[in-house]
Amino acid sequence: MRKIIVTEFITLDGVIEAPGGNETSHPHGGWQFKYSSPETGKYKVDELASVDTLLLGKITYEKFAAYWPNQTGGGFADPINRMPKYVVSRSLQKTEWNNSHILRDVAGDVAALKKSDGGDILVYGSATLVKALLHHDLIDELRLMVFPLSIGGGLRLFDDNLELKKFELKHSRAADNGVLILEYRCS
């Protein structure tokens, strides 16, 4: 069975919103770029190279589809443009980005995708989708890059929904720039 791996940039106060800057109108958008380093960049390239499929929520998909098809080269652009991409959305009617497919139901369609042939599946961002995947116990690994800052509010990965979720630490390390890389198995 394929694994679903969620990867997130997250602040110390649990915010995942606007790491790149222009995804939302967050006043501190772009916080992730202040910590770029060769070490964390290599981690992200290696992470993408370890999977063969992307699973995205509608908003993340639309942001990616507006940017990546016009990019070429090495670590990110070529693999992302080549690999199959699945977007979970009830409202999206069609996809324009190469090798993209629409899934309508998290519980049924994503569970079937996990059971299909192929390598592991990576989820970037996609907070609403990730919350649904957590709720349905469909995530196998959670990879967090924890940035050493607090931005005082915004979209959080874990809501106050009173669901207990346990995670087993698989790997951890601190990058030279203060970013913690934490990999958890979901139980």
Indicate the pTM of the whole model: 0.94
What type of residue is 163?
E
Provide the greatest CA pair distance for the chain. 44
| CA angle in degrees (0–180, nearest 5) for 18-46-174 | 65
Distance CA 49, CA 42 (A): 10
Beta-bridge partners for 156: 15
The tens place of each residue's pLDDT in the chain, 187 residues long, gives: 999 999 999 999 999 987 887 777 888 888 998 899 999 999 999 999 999 999 999 999 999 999 999 999 888 999 999 999 999 999 999 999 999 999 999 999 999 999 999 999 999 999 999 999 999 999 999 999 999 999 988 888 887 777 889 999 999 999 999 999 999 999 8
**Given this model, what pLDDT does residue 53 score?**
98
What type of residue is 134?
L
Distance CA 71, CA 69 (A): 6
How do 141-147 and 85-88 pair as beta strands? unpaired
Residue 40 near residue 178, CB atoms below 8 Å: no
Superfamily for domain range 17-36+46-178: Dihydrofolate Reductase, subunit A (3.40.430.10)
**Domain range list for the chain:** 17-36+46-178
